[in-house]
A and B are shown apart, each in its own frame.
Chain A
Amino acid sequence: QVQLQESGPGLVKPSETLSLTCSVSDYSISSGYYWGWIRQPPGMGPEWIGNIYHGGSTYYSPSLKSRVAISVDTSKNQFSLKLSSVTAADTAVYYCAREMTPGSFDYWGQGALVTVSS
């Protein structure tokens, strides 16, 4: 059973950079699949942020592309999200997930609530 776990600060100040890491267990990222980040603002639907392949190729949401960076560390079996210049609109639960086929996420982390506030 593949397991994913998000970690990182739960509170980020406006204009600063949000950083989260997803640790993957019971499956080697190097074995394949894309790995993605999805966020969900309180009371709203999910929003796809972007994804990364173990080789490092990435795709990002056009609306976030200028502020997002996703990276992978296969030695630690982790991948990470950085979102710069955050505002209150970036407050959300952030999920990491494995992408089984294009757009289908079969394993998810439990989610990490990140609040942007001074």
Chain B
Amino acid sequence: QSALTQPASVSGSPGQSITISCTGTSSDVGGYNYVSWYQQHPGKAPKLMIYDVTKRPSGVSTRFYGSKSGNTASLTISGLQAEDEADYYCSSYTSSSTYVFGTGAKVTVL
């Protein structure tokens, strides 16, 4: 099972919006509405930010928005803040009843 493809880095200035892509195949991202996004700060456990493609867990800012088109899912962060600087990983359910994570994207707030 190959990892989902994400850009290595994404950057933006405070207040701007950025989008992180997550590309898979029809056997994972494109085939199911079970894409999740995680935020991870150094030395910390990942934090669930988006699940089931578009849903936000309780307590997660509305500045985080998830979407999907075909085999590519996206996470958009609007009103970028310094605290958003972290690594972001997507994950997806697969046709083998397993899960695969993305390669990860480092978000830098300029």
Contact = CB atoms under 8 A, between A and B. Distances in A.
A109 B44 CA distance: 10
Contacts of B46: 46, 95, 105, 108
Contacts, number: 65
Nearest to A111: B45
Interface in A81-109: 95, 100-106, 108-109
B89 A101 contact: no
B25 to A, nearest CB: 15
A106 B57 contact: yes
Given A61-B98, A103-B93, A45 B104 contact: yes
Contacts of A47: 101
B39 to A, nearest CB: 12
Contacts of A59: 97-98
Interface of B: 1, 3, 32, 34-36, 38, 45-48, 51-52, 57, 89, 91-93, 96-104
